[in-house]
Amino acid sequence: MKLRLKLVLLSGVPIVVALMLMSVTMQQQTLKLAHEEKALVQAAFMTSKEAELRHYVELARNTLVRIAEGPGALDERKRLALDTIKRMQFGNNGYFFVYDQHGQLMIDPQTLPLKGVAFCDPNDPQSADSAYRILATARRGGGVVRYSWHKPSSQEVVPKLGYVLTIPQWDWVIGTGIYLDDVQQALRAIETGAQANIEGTRQRIYLIAALCVVLIWTGGLVLNLKDHRVSSDKLRRLARRVVHSQEQERVRVARELHDGVVQVLASSKFLLETAQLQLADAAVPPASRSALAQGVDQLAGALAEIRRVSHGLRPALLDDLGLAPALELLARQMQQCGAFEVRFACRGLAAGLPPEHGTALFRIAQEALQNCCSHARARRVELVLRGTRRAVALSIEDDGCGFDMRRVSADGERGIGLRNMRERAESLGGDLHVASSSRGTRIDVRLPLPSAAAPAPARESFPLVIAHPLT
């Protein structure tokens, strides 16, 4: 068994088992709390309903007392009081009932605005018991009375909570009630909610267990990525050192060619030209004179070729004057090939570019122009160098035939130049993008600048453009 799998099992299995035990304990405790909550809610609900009923009945009684104590004939006041009570209702099923001093109903339920209302009539055998309890509670000073009665909206017999008081002026009993099936529904909703909470909590525990396993796996992945990042940084530093070593070697070879071979060839050419001048008036056969002139010409060509190779290895302008003049020289040299037109522009770049950035961009431009010359069959190439306080960018765009990016990337033997350009950019923390189609190819490279070495933008408000038209 692999070490990584062992670590996952040793850390994940105990967590899952512990969470399962927590789930069972949580379910038991939640059910217990739900029952206690149900009892508390029921008590609180009943208390609040009793207070609400008392408020309604006291409000109705005060209204009738004001009418009873008002002016007018007694019969008129009673009729006004009953009409007022008929119009008073609350909620969907709330209404008031009134009994006289003999226990007879004073209101006809058919005259109420609410349909389906039936009162507890003492003369009805089915409702006599409930009516007697209501009257008995009122004679004891009023209060709460419980009984079962028809609910108008559903016409079902459900438990009802009533409240009654007396009107001393007329010895009437007034009361109302609420149906307790709403309370039962609320309690059932609490129980259903508790079950839903248990199920939701169980699912969250399962999710937490899964997240713990994922976090463990992610931790291992992060460690692997960290190791990979460290390895990538080491490889990047190694690549930078390799590139630096290559550039140093190129500088050494270019210096050796310039200071050694070029000087020897130049001295030899000078000696041959001197000999050629000294033999100008001598009696030398024409064949020898022609051979000597041909040798001088070939030596001059070799000298020019070695100088070209030396400048290609490391142009002196790159070290002496900077990147922009070196790219201008490179454009001029490619222009002399006569294969395509080269336009170079520099925008917003001042002095102070780090040497490694200048070298990387020069080599990328050198490789790109060589690809244009060898493969693109382009007629025009544009180089644009841009600089800001934070980065320096170079774009190379041609109007050649382009190439298939996927095919070149998949082919291990092709695209070495593109990979070299990309590695040079990435070794300095930059990025390189290549877009190619049948209308041409565009290469964009951007290198971030260190804060201490970031060049300030140029003061010119217009771009500096150096063009080399075809001759």
Per-residue pLDDT tens over the stretch 394-416: 999 998 888 887 787 777 667 77
**C-alpha dihedral sign at 63, 65, 71, 75:** positive
pLDDT band at 172 (very low <50, low <70, confident <90, very high): confident
**Residue 408 CA from chain centroid, whole number:** 34
pTM, 2 dp: 0.42
Whether 470 has a pLDDT exceeding 60, the answer reads: no
pLDDT band at 244 (very low <50, low <70, confident <90, very high): low
pLDDT band at 461 (very low <50, low <70, confident <90, very high): very low
Q: What is the pLDDT of residue 441?
A: 92
User: Could you tell me the end-to-end alpha-carbon distance of the chain, in angstroms, rounded to an integer?
Assistant: 73
Higher pLDDT, 59 or 126: 59
**Cβ(175)–Cβ(165) under 8 Å?**
yes
**Cβ(150)–Cβ(156) under 8 Å?**
yes
Q: What is the pLDDT of residue 155?
A: 73
Q: What is the pLDDT of residue 452?
A: 46
**Cβ(1)–Cβ(195) under 8 Å?**
no
Q: What is the pLDDT of residue 284?
A: 66
**Cβ(391)–Cβ(449) under 8 Å?**
yes
Q: Which residues pair with 158 in a beta bridge?
A: 149
d(CA 385, CA 357): 12
Q: Lowest mean pLDDT: which of 139-153, 272-286, 417-431, 456-470?
A: 456-470
Q: Where in the chain is the domain with CATH 3.30.565.10?
A: 318-468
Buried residues in 277-292 as b, exposed as e (16+ CB within 10 A): eeeeeeeeeeeeeeeb
Per-residue pLDDT tens over the stretch 145-157: 888 887 777 777 8
Q: What is the pLDDT of residue 455?
A: 47
Q: Lowest mean pLDDT: which of 259-268, 331-340, 366-375?
A: 259-268
User: Of 419-423, 459-463, 466-470, which one has max mean pLDDT?
Assistant: 419-423
Per-residue pLDDT tens over the stretch 87-133: 887 777 778 888 887 888 888 877 777 777 778 878 888 778 888 88
pLDDT band at 250 (very low <50, low <70, confident <90, very high): low
CATH class of the domain at 3-179:
alpha beta
Whether 240 has a pLDDT exceeding 70, the answer reads: no
**Residue linked to tokens 């409702």:** 127
- Counting Cβ atoms within 10 Å, is residue 357 exposed (0-12), middle (13-18) or buried (19+)? buried
Q: What is the mean pLDDT of the segment spanning 421-445?
A: 88
Contact residues for 134 (Cβ-Cβ < 8 A; gap 6+): 99, 120, 145, 147, 162, 164, 173, 175
Amino acid code (one letter) for 437: S
Q: What is the pLDDT of residue 311?
A: 62
pLDDT band at 442 (very low <50, low <70, confident <90, very high): very high
DSSP-assigned letters across all residues of 2-49? -HHHHHHHHHHHHHHHHHHHHHHHHHHHHHHHHHHHHHHHHHHHHHHH
pLDDT band at 243 (very low <50, low <70, confident <90, very high): low
pLDDT band at 2 (very low <50, low <70, confident <90, very high): low
Contact residues for 237 (Cβ-Cβ < 8 A; gap 6+): none
Q: What is the pLDDT of residue 247?
A: 63
Higher pLDDT, 109 or 5: 109
Contact residues for 366 (Cβ-Cβ < 8 A; gap 6+): 312, 330
CA–CA distances in Å: residue 431 to residues 225, 319, 414: 21, 24, 20
Polymer length of the chain: 471
Percent of the chain exceeding pLDDT 70 equals 82
No. of H helices and E strands in the chain? Answer: 11, 11
Whether 260 has a pLDDT exceeding 90, the answer reads: no
d(CA 168, CA 24): 61
Cα angle 414-420-425, degrees, rounded to a multiple of 5: 140
Q: Which architecture characterizes domain 318-468 according to CATH?
A: 2-Layer Sandwich (3.30)
Contact residues for 100 (Cβ-Cβ < 8 A; gap 6+): 106, 170, 171, 172, 173
Contact residues for 355 (Cβ-Cβ < 8 A; gap 6+): 319
3-class DSSP assignment, residue 340:
coil
Higher pLDDT, 12 or 59: 59
Q: What is the pLDDT of residue 384?
A: 92
Compute the half-sphere exposure of residue 211: CA atoms within 13 Å on the CB side of its CA. Answer: 7
Q: What is the pLDDT of residue 121?
A: 78
d(CA 131, CA 106): 13
Amino acid code (one letter) for 467: A
Whether 180 has a pLDDT exceeding 90, the answer reads: no
Q: Is 456 left (phi over 0), alpha (psi -120 to 50) or beta?
A: beta
Closest CA to 415 of 404, 425, 430, 426: 404
Q: Spell out where 318-399 has E strands.
A: 341-347, 380-387, 391-398
Q: Lowest mean pLDDT: which of 230-244, 295-309, 378-392?
A: 230-244
pLDDT band at 454 (very low <50, low <70, confident <90, very high): very low
Q: What is the pLDDT of residue 315?
A: 65
Q: Where in the chain is the domain with CATH 3.30.450.20?
A: 3-179
Q: What is the mean pLDDT of the chain?
A: 77
Higher pLDDT, 106 or 385: 385
Q: What is the mean pLDDT of the segment spanning 357-377?
A: 85
Per-residue pLDDT tens over the stretch 217-229: 777 677 767 766 7
Amino acid code (one letter) for 29: Q
**Cβ(152)–Cβ(116) under 8 Å?**
yes
Q: What is the pLDDT of residue 462?
A: 31
Per-residue pLDDT tens over the stretch 269-326: 777 777 777 776 666 677 776 777 787 788 788 877 776 676 666 666 677 778 888 8
Q: Which residues pair with 164 in a beta bridge?
A: 143, 175
